[in-house]
Amino acid sequence: MPVERDVEAEGDGDAATEPEGEGLPINELFHSLQGEGKLAGVPSVFVRTSGCNLRCWFCDSYHTSWEPTHAWMGIDEIVDEVANHDADHVVLTGGEPLVHEESVALLERLDDAGYHTTVETNGTIHRDAPIDLASVSPKLASSTPIAERDPKGDGEWADRHEQRRLDLDALAGLVEDCEFQLKFVVTGKGDLPEIEDLVDRVREATSVPVRDADVLLMPEGRTREELDETRRTVAELAAERGYRYTPRLHVDLWNDAPGT
């Protein structure tokens, strides 16, 4: 269920001000189906933290990045709420959940309780934590919020986003430490050369194999109407290149409703 005790996060969203003790800024916590990636369709509990170090113009969780809101929840409280739902899978997402050190404590508790955990991350932060599936979504140049596509219209975040959007060391660390998927949000055919170049760079930087089957192409789109414009092109690119195509089931089923 969505967390209702929302308050506005402080600062620029890199990490909200923390209370004493272990806790996380939670934007929403709910039960649904995993909509993306290798586990699409699996019943899961989603724990969505607030705060992000990037500002993708197409972000589908605006209130965790551009205008972050949250309720503070202790680690015990989060684990108890997860246990109230009938699911063996937990998805820690955001925003960028790994900006928060306390995410490690939460992942350790969930691991101890026997949950399978997926962490949805932009790949710019690597932490030593028990993660069953690192769903790494490196941000392409097409994600940069230049003024023409900045939700706020001023392009203020463009330079910071561009400087931060890739960290090859962090990305390689996640790939080496976890089962992983590299999930790219694709806005059009022009993204493919950059994707192929980055996949090659990851392969060179890691000691583990990165198969084409580990590379997922996902159409950009926050609503059914937007997906209608991109999904076929992206599916064809995946088929041509030998990568995997991933749908956005939650958008297809529930459009852009929160808590899905």
Contact 218, 185 (CB under 8 A): yes
Where residue 238 falls among pLDDT bands split at 50, 70, 90?
A: very high
- Nearest C-alpha neighbor of 98 from the set 20, 174, 186, 5: 174
pTM reported for the whole predicted model: 0.91
**Span 7-48, pLDDT tens digits:** 333 334 444 455 566 899 999 999 999 999 999 999 999 999
Strands (E), the chain: 7-8, 23-33, 43-49, 69-74, 89-93, 116-121, 133-136, 180-186, 215-219, 244-245
> What pLDDT is recorded for position 2?
35
Q: Which of 167, 93, 184 is nearest to 133 (CA)?
A: 93
Residues 215 and 244: beta-carbon distance below 8 Å? yes
Environment class of residue 223 by beta-carbon count within 10 Å: exposed (0-12), middle (13-18) or buried (19+)?
A: exposed
Does pLDDT of 117 surpass 90?
yes
CA distance 178 to 242: 23
pLDDT per position as a tens digit, 123-165? 999 999 999 999 999 999 999 999 999 999 888 999 999 999 9
Domain annotation for the chain: domains and CATH numbers: 7-29+37-215 (3.20.20.70)
